[in-house]
Amino acid sequence: MRWPSRRAGLLVGAIVLGLFIVLPFIGLHVPWVLPGTLDIVNSTGTLEVLALCFMFAGVAVGYDMMFGYTGLMSLGPVLYFAVGTYVFDIALTHWGWSLFPSLLVTFGVSLVLAVVLGAIALRVHGIAFAMVTLAFAQAFYFLVESNPHNLTGGDTGLSLSYTRMPSFLSGAVSNTRNLYWVALAFLVVAYLIVWLVTESVTGHVFVAIRENELRLDVLGVRPYRFKLVSFVVSSLIATGGGIVYILVIGTAVPSVVASTTVTLSILIMVVLGGAGTRWGAVVGAMVYVYLQQYLDKVGAEPTFTRLPAVLRVPLSEPQFLLGAIFVLFVFFAPGGIAGLVVRRRFRRASAATLLSAFQGLRKGGGG
C-alpha cells in the first residue's frame, strides 16, 4: 500500500491549514489540554502559544532544508533568528522606521551576514562546520548581551515600540488574533519556499550532497555554491521567524532569543519530527513548543505542587520532560514522528539523513 500519496498528504495539509485559519473564530471550551490559562480555544493565551508554534515550525522547516536535505549540521541558526528579532526591533524602536523599511533592512542584514559567514563556515566540513557556526552565533550573543551603544538593552532586553506599526499589528495583546495569522502566514510562506526549493533541481543536488558529496565533485558539480544557497535560504527563513517572534512576544532578551539553547531546540524539533521530510519538522516544532508551554502551565498547578518531590521535581520541569522525550525518540524512533506515521517511506530516508549528515565529518578539515 502506498500511502499517504502526495494527494492525500496535500489534502490533510489543506484541511489542517483551513482549521487553523478559522480557529480564532471558534470559542470552543476544551478542558485540560490547552496551554492558555483559560480553557477556551481562541483565548489570547492559547492563540499566542499557537503563534509561537507556527513561527518555530517555519524556522524548523527552513532548518530541515539545510540539515535534513543538504546534510549540513549548522549549530548557528539562532544567529539569523536573533538578527531578525534585534535588527527589526532596533529599526522600529530606536530608529523609528516604519514597517516595510524595517523589514527590508532586517532581511538585508541577514542576507549579507548569511552569505559572508556561510562562505567562511562552509570552507570546513562536518563537526568543524558545526563548531564554527556555533561560535559565530555565540559571538552575536555576546555582542547583543554587551549592549553596544545602548542598542540592544543587554541582559534586560529590548521591548518593541509599536508607534510606527500599522494599527492591525500594534500591541501584542490587543491584536493577538492578527499576529496569530501573521505567524501562520509566515509558516505557509516558509513551507512553500522549502517545498519549491527541495522539489527543484537545486533541491535534488542538496540531497545528492547529503548522500555523497565526493561523488558530486567527481561529476563536476561544485557542491560549495549549493551548500551556500541552502545555508542562506535557511538563514533568511530563520530571520523571518525572528521577526514574527518579536511581533508576537514584544520583547527580545538575549538568553531567550540569541542563546545556543534556541539552536538546540530547533535541532531537536526537526529530529523529533523526522529530519528530511519537511512536514515532520513542522509537526516536531508544533509538538515541541506546545508541550513546552503546556507543561510549564501544568507544572505550576496545585495538583502538581502537592506531589512528593521525587515526582514533582521532574514532572514540573518542562526542560527535563522534553529532554527525556527527545532521548527516547533518538533511541527508539530515530525517524522521528514522521518515521512513526509513515514507516516504510521515510524510515530509510531519515536514517540515511542522520548517517549522511555525518558522512565525512571525521574527515573534517579544509575545503
Partner 1 sequence: MNIFLVLTFSGVALGAIYFLAASGLSLIYGLMDVLNFAHGLFMTLGAYAGYEIATRLPSSLGAPTLVILAIIGATVVGALAAGVTELILIRPLYGKPISQILITIGLDLAGVGLLMGGFGSTALQIPVPLWLIEPTHIGGLYLPNASFLAIGAGVLVLIGLEMFLALTRYGIIIRAGVENREMVRALGIDVGRAFTLVFVIGGAMAGLAGILYTIVFSGDLVSPNQGDSLLIFAFIVVVIGGLGSIRGSAVAALAVGLLQQYTSFYIGGHSGWAQIGDLSTVLLLAVVLEWRPRGLFGRVA
Partner 2 sequence: MTNAVEISDLHVSISGSHVLQGVSFSVPSGGVTALLGRNGVGKTTTLRAILGLVASSGRIQVLGNEVSGWPTHRIVRLGIGYVPEDRDVFSGLTVEQNLRLAESGSGAQYDEVFSLFPELKTRGRQRAGTLSGGQQQMLSIARALLNHRPLLLIDEPSKGLAPKIVSEFAGVLERAAEHSTVLLVEQNLSVVKRLAQRIVVLDHGEVVHRGEVVDLEDPTLVRQLLGVAGAA
Cα–Cα distances in angstroms (integers) from residue 231 to residues 24, 174, 343, in the given order? 35, 36, 29
In the complex, the smallest distance separating the C-beta of residue 212 from partner 2, rounded to whole angstroms, is 5
Task: Determine, following the binding rule CB under 8 A, whether residue 366 of this chain makes contact with partner 1.
Answer: yes
In the complex, the smallest distance separating the C-beta of residue 207 from partner 2, rounded to whole angstroms, is 11
Number of residues that bind partner 2 (CB under 8 A): 5
* From 70, 347, 356, 357, residue interacting with partner 2 (rule: CB under 8 A): 356
Site for partner 1 in 259-318 (CB under 8 A): 260, 264, 267-268, 271, 312-314, 316-318
The one-letter amino acid code at 50 reads: L
Task: Determine, following the binding rule CB under 8 A, whether residue 316 of this chain makes contact with partner 2.
Answer: no
- Rounded to the nearest angstrom, the gap between the alpha carbon of residue 275 and the centroid of all alpha carbons in its chain is 13
Cell numbers at residue 235, please? 538563514
Query: Of the two residues 204 and 215, which places its CB atom closer to partner 2 in the complex?
Result: 215
In the complex, the smallest distance separating the C-beta of residue 339 from partner 1, rounded to whole angstroms, is 13
The one-letter amino acid code at 358 reads: F
Q: Among the candidate windows 13-21, 36-44, 50-58, 329-337, which touches partner 1 by CB under 8 A?
A: 329-337
Exposed (0-12), middle (13-18) or buried (19+): which is 27, by Cβ within 10 Å? exposed
Do 141 and 254 contact (CB within 8 A), yes or no?
Answer: yes
d(CA 295, CA 320) in angstroms, rounded, equals 10
Task: Determine, following the binding rule CB under 8 A, whether residue 359 of this chain makes contact with partner 2.
Answer: yes
Cell numbers at residue 228, please? 551556500
In the complex, the smallest distance separating the C-beta of residue 73 from partner 2, rounded to whole angstroms, is 17
* From 105, 111, 128, 188, residue interacting with partner 1 (rule: CB under 8 A): 128
Q: Which helix (H) or strand (E) holds 159?
A: strand 158-159
Cell numbers at residue 250, please? 514584544
Do 64 and 349 contact (CB within 8 A), yes or no?
Answer: no
Q: What is the DSSP string of 97-126?
A: --HHHHHHHHHHHHHHHHHHHHHHHTTB-H
Do 103 and 246 contact (CB within 8 A), yes or no?
Answer: no
Q: Among the candidate windows 38-46, 68-76, 209-217, 308-316, which touches partner 2 by CB under 8 A?
A: 209-217
d(CA 107, CA 237) in angstroms, rounded, equals 9
Query: Of the two residues 215 and 222, which places its CB atom closer to partner 2 in the complex?
Result: 215
User: 204: which residues sit within 8 A by CB, 6+ positions away?
Assistant: none
Residue 251 has φ and ψ, to the nearest 5°, of: -140, 140
Query: Of the two residues 111 and 131, which places its CB atom closer to partner 1 in the complex?
Result: 131
In the complex, the smallest distance separating the C-beta of residue 188 from partner 1, rounded to whole angstroms, is 29
Query: Of the two residues 140 and 181, which places its CB atom closer to partner 1 in the complex?
Result: 140
Number of residues that bind partner 1 (CB under 8 A): 52
Query: Of the two residues 64 and 213, which places its CB atom closer to partner 2 in the complex?
Result: 213
User: 200: which residues sit within 8 A by CB, 6+ positions away?
Assistant: none
Task: Determine, following the binding rule CB under 8 A, whether residue 152 of this chain makes contact with partner 2.
Answer: no
Q: Among the candidate windows 77-85, 164-172, 245-253, 358-366, which touches partner 1 by CB under 8 A?
A: 358-366
Tell me how many helices (H) and strands (E) the chain has.
Answer: 16, 2
Task: Determine, following the binding rule CB under 8 A, whether residue 178 of this chain makes contact with partner 2.
Answer: no
* From 44, 147, 212, 251, residue interacting with partner 2 (rule: CB under 8 A): 212
Task: Determine, following the binding rule CB under 8 A, whether residue 256 of this chain makes contact with partner 1.
Answer: no
Binding residues for partner 1, rule: CB under 8 A, are 73, 120, 123-124, 127-128, 130-132, 134-136, 138-139, 142-143, 145-146, 148, 260, 264, 267-268, 271, 312-314, 316-324, 326-327, 330-331, 334, 354-355, 357-358, 361-367
Binding residues for partner 2, rule: CB under 8 A, are 211-212, 215, 356, 359
